[in-house]
C-alpha cells in the first residue's frame, strides 16, 4: 500500500481474521473520499478506476461486501460502475436504501425533508450565504456545500447555527462533513447500517462474523468506527481504515490503518482479495 501507517495490534488481529476466514467476514466501505476522490461538484464524482474491478474480485470471497454511503444507492452504483459487481450490497442514504443484484428497496422520505427543502433557500438567503454555497438534494437528505466558496470553512461555520435551527424545526439531524452540512432523518447513520449487516449475517449463519472492517474518510464514518469498536468488545475482530486527506484528521487518529486516499483503498482491496486467491 502507499506508505500506510503501521497497523494497530487489534487491527492486525482483525486483518488476520479476515484472511483466515474471509467467507464469514463483513466488509464495509464509504464511497466519496474512500472509493472515489472528493471533487468540487458531487455530480462529477466517479470511483477510482480500480475500485469496481477490485470489489468484483473480493465479493465472491467474503461473507458480506458492502458500500455504505450517504448518497442515494443508485447514484453510488452509477458513479462507481458497480452494476455488474455480483454479491455487492450498497446501502444508500446511511442505510435507508438497499441495492443488491440490481434491485432497490427504499422507504418514503420523512415529512421533515419536504419542509426543509421548501424552507432552505429562504434560510440561506436570510443568512447571507457566501457565493459558491450550493445545495444537493438527495431525496432522503439535503446537503449544503461550501467547498466552492472562497473560504469554505468560514462559510460552513457561518451557516452551521442556522442550519441546525432549521433541522430542529423540521425534526431532522445535522451531519457535518468535509465542507458540508447534511440535513437527514434522525436515528440513521453508518454505524447502525454496519451493525445491521453484521446482525443479519449472524442471524443467517447462526454465528457472528469472523471479522468486520470499515473504511471511510469523513466525520460521518466515525459512527461506523464506533460500531466496529462495539463488535470488538463482543469478541468479533475488527479493523477501522482511514482513507487519508488533509481536510479531516479525526478518522486518522481513530483508525487502525491509514492509507493514501482512494488509491490506497483500492490497493487494500486487492491485497485482501489476493490473500484468498489460492486455488482450493
pLDDT of 3: 45
pLDDT tens digits for 55-98? 999 999 999 999 999 999 999 999 999 999 999 999 999 999 99
Mean pLDDT value across the chain: 93
Identify the weakest region by mean pLDDT among 9-18, 50-59, 212-221, 269-278: 269-278
**What secondary structure letter does DSSP report for 266?**
H
pLDDT tens digits for 3-14? 456 799 999 999
* Locus of grid cell 436570510: 126
Residues belonging to the active site: 30
pLDDT of 6: 77
State pTM to two decimals.
0.83
- pLDDT of 278 higher than 60: no
43, with CB counted inside 10 A (0-12, 13-18, 19+), is exposed
Handedness of CA 257, 261, 266, 270 (dihedral sign): negative
Q: How far apart are CA 259 and CA 111, in angstroms?
A: 40
pLDDT of 4: 52
Amino acid at each position: 500500500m502507499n506508505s500506510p501507517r503501521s497497523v494497530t495490534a487489534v487491527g492486525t488481529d482483525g486483518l488476520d481474521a479476515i484472511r483466515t476466514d474471509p467467507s464469514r467476514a463483513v466488509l464495509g466501505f464509504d464511497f466519496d473520499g474512500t472509493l472515489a476522490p472528493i471533487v468540487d461538484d458531487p455530480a462529477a464524482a466517479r470511483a477510482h478506476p480500480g475500485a469496481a474491478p477490485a470489489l468484483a474480485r473480493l465479493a465472491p470471497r467474503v461473507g458480506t461486501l458492502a458500500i455504505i454511503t450517504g448518497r442515494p444507492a443508485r447514484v453510488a452504483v452509477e458513479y462507481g460502475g458497480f452494476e455488474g459487481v455480483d454479491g455487492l450490497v450498497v446501502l444508500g442514504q446511511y442505510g435507508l436504501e438497499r441495492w443488491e443484484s440490481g434491485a432497490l428497496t427504499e422507504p418514503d422520505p420523512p415529512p421533515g425533508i419536504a419542509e426543509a427543502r421548501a424552507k432552505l433557500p429562504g434560510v440561506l438567503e436570510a443568512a447571507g450565504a457566501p457565493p459558491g454555497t450550493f445545495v444537493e438534494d438527495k431525496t432522503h437528505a439535503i446537503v449544503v456545500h461550501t467547498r466552492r466558496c472562497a473560504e469554505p470553512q468560514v462559510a460552513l461555520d457561518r451557516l452551521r447555527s442556522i442550519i441546525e435551527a432549521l433541522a430542529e424545526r423540521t425534526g431532522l439531524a445535522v451531519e457535518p462533513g468535509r465542507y458540508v452540512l447534511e440535513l437527514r432523518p434522525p436515528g440513521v447513520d453508518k454505524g447502525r447500517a454496519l451493525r445491521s449487516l453484521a446482525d443479519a449475517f449472524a442471524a443467517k449463519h447462526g454465528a457472528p462474523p469472523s471479522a468486520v472492517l470499515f473504511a471511510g474518510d469523513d466525520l460521518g464514518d466515525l459512527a461506523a468506527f464506533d460500531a466496529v469498536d462495539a463488535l470488538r468488545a463482543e469478541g468479533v475482530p475488527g479493523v477501522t481504515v482511514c482513507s487519508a486527506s488533509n481536510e479531516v484528521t479525526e478518522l486518522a487518529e481513530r483508525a487502525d490503518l491509514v492509507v493514501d486516499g482512494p488509491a490506497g483503498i483500492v490497493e487494500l482491496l486487492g491485497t485482501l482479495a489476493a490473500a484468498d486467491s489460492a486455488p482450493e
